[in-house]
């Protein structure tokens, strides 16, 4: 569906995207995460042919976004961060106009507009001017615009930005439903949104992919939490030397151990080594527990480590 190979985009002396490669298969819902300026929106603009890459290639449904731009764009429904709408037009009027621009056949145009409005929950406001709608409804109109030509791929850039909690919940449900029938690429800063909607995620920082994984794999991974009655001298060094431990972070009176492998046997082996090390040194353990790894943990670890 989507294939990017060594994408690079420079703006003057700044590398906004730096040698990024990834693939997204048919039916996948993938979240693009990263701090401000990480390169998420730039990659989306390259994929949708809004801007060219400095180097590298990108394909949509087998069509190169540079040399075969029109065919690539026909397969995409794009919702930019700031949705460009005509406030003086009525909802149905606007979507019909957009369907014409997207070459929806005249005979099926009304049906496509009706279907897009129904799926986005805006049929009840079809005759209202867009400028009279709330921001949440305007965002839904933008989604319907992205859907009206029934594209195989939806690229959504910050679709819930600026919405209130009720509007966010409504838009999330719409996106979740869309993910059942389309390949979806979602850029957002809201990590719970990715956990609820996406099956896989890519985390970018400074124009590079720093980590990627499946959401369901996070549920199978845990970290080891070790607490002491008083923090012993040399505890961090001792814990860091345990086989399988990749990172040790202190949180008040305890240490959090990240592991190379998050499966149960690996964690049990690490916990055993922690206990044996404490007994050997006469340390009093007050806590030896497992913590679920969250997407926030992965995000902070990946981006902060890079900045450090």
Q: Would you place residue 141 in the very low, low, confident or very high pLDDT band (cuts 50, 70, 90)? A: very high
Q: What is the pLDDT of residues 160-196, one digit of tens each?
A: 887 788 888 888 888 888 888 889 999 988 888 898 8
Stated pTM of the model: 0.81
Same domain assignment for residues 243 and 140: no
Identify the residue whose tokens are 């930019």.
Answer: 80
Residue that is last in its domain, among 172, 193, 214: 214
Residue 303 lies in a domain: no
Per the structure, the count of domains in the chain is: 2
Q: How far apart are the first and last CA of the chain?
A: 35
- 153 and 76 Cβ atoms separated by less than 8 Å: yes
HSE toward the beta carbon, residue 278, CA cutoff 13 A: 20
Which range of residues forms the domain containing residue 288? 222-292
Same domain assignment for residues 30 and 131: yes
Same domain assignment for residues 59 and 115: yes
Same domain assignment for residues 110 and 44: yes
Residue 305 lies in a domain: no
Same domain assignment for residues 123 and 237: no
Q: What is the pLDDT of residue 76?
A: 95
Cα(284)–Cα(232) distance, integer angstroms: 9
Instruction: Report the length, in residues, of the chain.
Output: 308
How is residue 253 written in tokens? 């009176």
Cα(174)–Cα(172) distance, integer angstroms: 5
pLDDT greater than 60 at residue 308? no
DSSP characters over 76-117: EEEE-SS----TTSBHHHHHHHHHHHTT--HHHHHHHHHHHH
Q: What is the pLDDT of residues 96-111, one digit of tens each?
A: 999 999 999 999 999 9
pLDDT greater than 90 at residue 112? yes
How is residue 283 written in tokens? 């340390």
Same domain assignment for residues 132 and 103: yes
Same domain assignment for residues 86 and 43: yes
**Would strands 245-251 and 254-259 be described as parallel, antiparallel, or unpaired?**
antiparallel
Q: What is the pLDDT of residue 269?
A: 85
């Amino acid at each position: 569906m989507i294939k990017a190979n060594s994408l690079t985009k420079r703006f003057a002396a700044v590398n906004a995207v730096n040698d990024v490669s990834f693939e997204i298969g048919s039916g996948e819902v993938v979240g693009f995460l990263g701090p401000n300026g990480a390169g998420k929106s730039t990659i989306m603009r390259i994929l949708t042919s809004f801007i060219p890459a400095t180097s590298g290639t990108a394909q949509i449904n087998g069509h190169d976004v540079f040399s075969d731009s029109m065919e690539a764009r026909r397969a995409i429904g794009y919702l930019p961060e700031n949705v460009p709408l005509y406030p003086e037009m009525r909802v149905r009027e606007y979507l019909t106009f957009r369907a014409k621009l997207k070459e929806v056949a005249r005979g099926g145009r009304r049906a496509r507009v009706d279907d897009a409005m129904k799926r986005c929950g805006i049929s009840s406001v079809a005759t209202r001017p867009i400028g009279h709608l709330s921001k949440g409804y305007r965002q839904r109109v933008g989604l319907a615009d992205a859907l009206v030509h029934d594209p195989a791929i939806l690229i959504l850039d910050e679709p819930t930005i600026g919405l209130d909690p009720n509007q966010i919940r409504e838009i999330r449900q719409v996106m979740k439903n869309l993910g059942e029938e389309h390949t979806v690429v979602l850029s957002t800063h809201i990590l719970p949104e990715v956990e609820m909607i996406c099956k896989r995620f890519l985390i970018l920082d400074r124009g590079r992919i720093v980590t990627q994984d499946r959401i369901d794999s996070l549920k199978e991974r845990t970290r080891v939490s070790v607490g002491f009655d008083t923090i012993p001298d040399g505890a961090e060094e001792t814990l860091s030397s345990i086989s399988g431990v990749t990172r040790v972070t202190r949180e008040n009176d305890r240490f959090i151990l990240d592991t190379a492998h998050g499966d149960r046997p690996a964690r049990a082996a690490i916990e055993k080594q922690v206990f044996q090390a404490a007994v050997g040194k006469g340390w009093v353990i007050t806590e030896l527990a497992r913590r679920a790894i969250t997407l926030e943990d992965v995000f902070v670890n990946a981006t902060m480590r890079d900045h450090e």
